[in-house]
Structure 1
Amino acid sequence: MDILELKSFLDDKVLQYNNPDFIESDPVQIPHLFTLQEDREIAGFLTATIAWGNRKMIINNAKKMVALMGSSPYDFVMNHNQNHLEPLATFVHRTFNGGDFTTFITALKHIYTQHNGLEGVFTIHQNSDSLQPAINQFKKVFFEVEHQNRTQKHVSDPLAGSAAKRINMYLRWMIRNDNAGVDLGLWKNISPALLSCPLDVHTGNVARKLGLLTRKQNDAKALSELDAQLRALDKDDPVKYDFALFGLGVFEGF
């Protein structure tokens, strides 16, 4: 199909999947449990951090994380003491363990007390064409606290070659306002035009079948290629096509 046919096809798929029905089977449901912006930010960030593997397991384990924080993520981050952290040692999601969880809580408090919060870090480090350098800077700020080296693998770095699928998904949740009730659109100082598609096996495979992606690896170079194609389809809201690519791959086996 030509470019206009492809755009029309994908726009239809965005409408099909970018609606509230999507939430019930997706990890984005976790930040939707809250009303306070900081609760949504923190719950969303932790959920996105463990968003690899079986989606049902991701959602269940994200709910466990929230429960371990007394269902008040921001209050827990800002006011916890050592006794509050001890139960976190029991948590595990694949390679993300209780020690990682504890470090993340410490790092998040540092972010909110010293760097004007999660939104503040990404806002100050954004540039004119992409948020990938901001993710690199965010990782540096996040790990200013004492931590084990192993924990660094749970925050991807696009400038080290990663497609950074999970944190790009998180940024979509926080920045994009879809007027359909899925993405939360909490952060107003960063343009959705700067967002990158959360590139994973599903979106990558569908993008290749549609001719949007030629690179075989799902890495930073592939993300840059896909970003250019999606921005050509919609320069103001390119990552809306994540819903189309993901839906085609997961729900339709395209």
Structure 2
Amino acid sequence: MTFEAVKKLLKEEALKRNHHEELSQDRPDPLMIASRYKDEFSSLICALFAYGNVSAIIQFLESLDFSLLDADEKTIEQTLSHHYYRFQNAKDIQALFITLARLKKNRSSLESIFLPAYQKESNVMDGLRALIAMLYDINPYRSRGYQFLLGTIPPTNPHSPYKRWHMYLRWMVRNDHLDLGLWQGVDTKDLLVPLDTHTFAVGKKLGLIQRKSYDFKAVLELSHTLQKIDPSDPVKYDFALYRLGQEKILF
């Protein structure tokens, strides 16, 4: 398939899928839950737990009471004492809610932590570095499950694709019938693709990615290629790529 043909396909798919019906019980996606609350804190929880089978993700997210983000820590611990999800036990889930509740109580927004670091060089990884570091600073709790959830503080040369975090940024920054557009200070041109196994496989199939390894360099390569299609909003095509892979349309 030529690049022009790929460009045409992605533009058509992005347009076709940019509607609310794309997020439903029949077509589940964690964004479906985040869209109910339209809140940066609830959305972050939805994004961080977005790994594994999508039906299991939705089932878990449906079991959560997001109003706990405004509750006291004892109530959080009691309410979530029997919750667990894959690599996270109840203490890990309690810790995440407590961390975000502390941040809300201090009248801080996630955007206000992300923006100053991002704006220095228009680099979203700098913003993520500041945000993830702040989340670790707020709560001294540590475990393998909790640290898997938040991820490592991004080093200068990351290896991980940081898929869940880039998906969160897509939700927060882009504003259409799918993404929430809750943040105002980040330019869509600076966003990076939330690379998962589906988008990686489709990207290689369409010739958008040459790299063999599923890593951060593949994220940069795909994002750079998509900038050739839309320099102002390359991540516009992420959801279409994801669905093309998930629905096995090209395979």
Q: Same fold (TM over 0.5)?
A: yes
Q: Deviations over 1:125-153 (max 9, x none)?
A: 21444312221221111001211142222
Given residue 55 of structure 1, which amino acid in structure 2 is its aligned partner? V
* Aligned sequence identity (%): 31
For 1:100-249, what aligned pairs fall within 5 Å after superposition?
100-114=92-106, 116-127=108-119, 128-144=121-137, 145-150=139-144, 151-157=146-152, 158-159=154-155, 160-178=158-176, 181-249=177-245
How far apart, CA to CA, are the structure 2 residues paired with 1:242 and 1:132? 18
Q: Would the aligned equivalents of 1:175 and 1:190 in 2 still touch at CA under 8 Å?
A: yes
SS of the residue corresponding to residue 160 of structure 2 reads coil
Amino acid at match of 1:146: P
Deviation at 1:211, TM superposition (A): 1.0
Q: C-alpha separation between the residues in 1 aligned to 2:229 and 2:122?
A: 16
TM-score, normalised relative to structure 1? 0.88
| Letter of the 1:241 counterpart | Y
Question: 1:156 is matched by which residue type in structure 2?
Answer: G
RMSD of Structure 2 on Structure 1 (CA):
1.8
Relative to the length of structure 2, the TM-score reads 0.89
Give the Å deviation of 1:167: 1.2
Q: In the alignment, which residue of structure 2 is the partner of 1:23?
A: 23
Amino acid at match of 1:41: E
Q: Deviations over 1:44-91 (max 9, x none)?
A: 11111111111111111011123xx4xx2xxx3233131442221211
Name stretches of at least 5 consecutive residues in structure 2 with no aligned partner. none
**2:247 aligned to 233, 236, 251, which one?**
251
- 1:52 is matched with 51
Inter-partner Cα distance in structure 2 for 1:32 and 1:161: 30
CA contact (8 A) 2:23 2:31 kept: yes
d(CA) in 1 for partners of 2:74 and 2:150? 24
Work out the CA distance in 1 between the residues paired with 2:178 and 2:190.
19
Preserved contact between residue 77 and residue 105 of structure 1 (Cα < 8 Å)? yes
Instruction: Report if aligned partners of 1:130, 1:194 keep a CA contact under 8 Å in 2.
Output: yes
Distance 1:19 1:193 in 2: 22
Q: Equivalents in 1 of 2:57, 2:42: separation in Å?
A: 13
Contact 1:130/1:196 (<8 A) preserved:
no
Which runs of 5 or more structure 1 residues have no equivalent in the other structure? Answer: none
Greater CA deviation, 151-160 or 139-148? 151-160
The change in CA–CA distance for 1:8 and 1:95 in structure 2 (over 3 A counts) is same
What amino acid maps onto 1:122 in structure 2? F
- Give the AA of the match of 2:170: R
Moved over 6 A (4+): none
Report if the CA contact (8 A) 1:115-1:121 is conserved: no
